[in-house]
Amino acid sequence: MSIISLDEAKNASCAREMMERGDYIVPTFNYELRTDKPPMHYYFMIIAYKIFGVNEFSARFFSSIFGAFTVLITFLFGKKVFNEKIGFLSAIILISSMHTAIQFHLAVPDPYLIFFITSALFSFYLFYAEKKDIWLYIFYISIGLGILTKGLVAFVLPSTIIFLFLVYKKELKFIKDLKLFQGFVIISAISLPWYIAVWIKTDGVWIKEFLFKHNIERYSTTFEGHGGNFLLPVLFVLIGILPFSIFSIQSIFHLFKDKKDSLIYLFIAVALWIIFFSFSGTKLPNYTTPIYPALSIIIGNYLSNFEKNRFNTASIIFYILLTIILTFALFYFISQDKTLSYLSYNAFYFIILTIGAIIGLYFYLKDRFLYSFASLSLSSVLMIFLFFYYIFPKFDKESSVLYILPYIEKDKPVFYYKRFNPAFSFYLKKKIEEIKDFNNLKDINILTREEYLQEILEKGITVKKIIKKKDLFENHVSVLLVL
């Protein structure tokens, strides 16, 4: 699929520019400082670019690798701490989630953060249970790599989870067993060199913008219109880990009956993560994805001792109704987009989820629970394959960038006015200069948005050609002017 997500485009372009410049310290987008994220995902993209060339596959390659690793360590942790059945069910829950699949198909830092957070949480508990130093060192290494992936959130939240767990256990004295000085050295050795280097090379600008704008401001205010209700992160998680999230409430009640340390620990991780982002001014679905593996194990534990009762019956019936509503809701929303309305019929492929749920209900009523879980899982996995390999490619053809690129005259320089779709930078592989003054400009391509078109025309600019196309799944319309 083409690079259409704005974040994907900036990340993929940033990695290409770092490789091109031979500068592995300072991230840039369109050859200007980019302060959004630390460099871990850029480094993996660069490795893939060197192996496979600069393309969409390379930008996303290691995202999917880290997705596979996340599923693997979830299975291994579930098997080691609980049993093989719980480990297997936990892995099935993860790979049945469409949001998980989508997340690990994107050229963004989140796939790496999910893996490192999962690794950190799992390795700490194994150290707590087994007292083997190897797990403690893996914990600190994971934290260090997480800080290089998305900043201090990779340290603050896992540390708070661990502290609350030890408070629950009334074992704060266990902190002295954590070899904090050694941990500080390991984390610092992994993460500090780059932060120091980028501070020096940008005179502190990168650190200040990342800390204040992309951390404090994002958390304290609604950033780029991504706000929402306090309960929105809960909704993100419940929708994100469908179909098996329909058993979340039962799983948590069952957890408190069991009162196993491992389950309480995982619950604290899930609850704290959701609560933390509930208070955030900016709310995005990817913020809560790092606790999907922990929640999968909690649900997997419940499914391993599944029984027929009115709550489980109601949950499956609810899922059947939800998938029907989802299908018609998708049809309605796609129909409302003039550019995509002719593709609205693709929404009805999601009825596969309904069919899988009905078959699942049939096996459930027959007390064949594993067959029921298989029906829920396989229908979701089939839907994921259809989405990526059959449905979405049709929508991808409506990408504004792919539509406009052939009209850009190669022998003329490319400029932009105020804003442009960042995917142009990825595909053009060169700097797109900003227009601040139209004086003495001629024989150029200009990329902008429709909202600025009238403003340009009012300046008396002679436009030879105008091509415009609505950005896919965005409210903006990209425009190409050729002067």
What sign has the CA pseudo-torsion 105, 292, 143, 69? negative
Query: In angstroms, rounded to a whole number, what is the distance separating the alpha carbons of residues 5 and 286?
Result: 14
378 CB-near residues (< 8 Å, 6+ apart): 356
What amino acid occupies position 480?
L
Phi, psi of 245 (to 5 degrees): -65, -15
- For 364-390, b/e burial (b = at least 16 CB within 10 A) is beeeebeebbbbbbbbbbebbeebeee
Average pLDDT over residues 136-162: 97
Give pLDDT, residue 457: 81
Alpha helices, H only, 53-109:
56-81, 84-95, 98-103
pLDDT bucket at 458, cuts 50 / 70 / 90: confident
How far is Cα of residue 104 from the mean position of the Cα atoms in its chain? 7
Q: What is the pLDDT of residues 265-306, one digit of tens each?
A: 999 999 999 999 999 988 989 999 999 999 999 999 999 999
Q: What is the pLDDT of residues 29-56, one digit of tens each?
A: 999 999 999 999 999 999 999 999 999 9
Give pLDDT, residue 138: 98
What sign has the CA pseudo-torsion 13, 14, 19, 22? positive
Give pLDDT, residue 224: 67
432 pLDDT exceeds 90? yes
Give pLDDT, residue 229: 84
C-alpha angle 131-137-142 in degrees, rounded to nearest 5: 125
Written as six digits, the tokens of 87 are: 């480990």
Give pLDDT, residue 210: 93
Q: Give the pairing of strands 465-470 and 433-434.
A: unpaired
What amino acid occupies position 446?
I
354, 323 contact by CB (below 8 A): yes
Written as six digits, the tokens of 321 are: 């109704």
77, 88 contact by CB (below 8 A): no
pTM beyond 0.85, yes or no: yes
Query: In angstroms, rounded to a whole number, what is the distance separating the alpha carbons of residues 346 and 382?
Result: 15
C-alpha angle 104-106-111 in degrees, rounded to nearest 5: 45
Give pLDDT, residue 225: 64
pLDDT bucket at 483, cuts 50 / 70 / 90: confident
29 CB-near residues (< 8 Å, 6+ apart): 10, 13, 14, 17, 422, 425
276 CB-near residues (< 8 Å, 6+ apart): 157
Tokens 């780029």 sit on residue: 224
Question: Among 435, 417, 416, which residue's Cα sits nearest to residue 425?
Answer: 416
40, 149 contact by CB (below 8 A): yes
Q: What is the pLDDT of residues 67-104, one digit of tens each?
A: 999 999 999 999 999 999 999 999 999 999 999 999 99
How far is Cα of residue 211 from the mean position of the Cα atoms in its chain? 20
Tokens 């300046």 sit on residue: 459
108, 152 contact by CB (below 8 A): no
Q: What is the pLDDT of residues 192-244, one digit of tens each?
A: 999 999 999 999 999 999 998 888 888 888 766 677 888 899 999 999 999 99
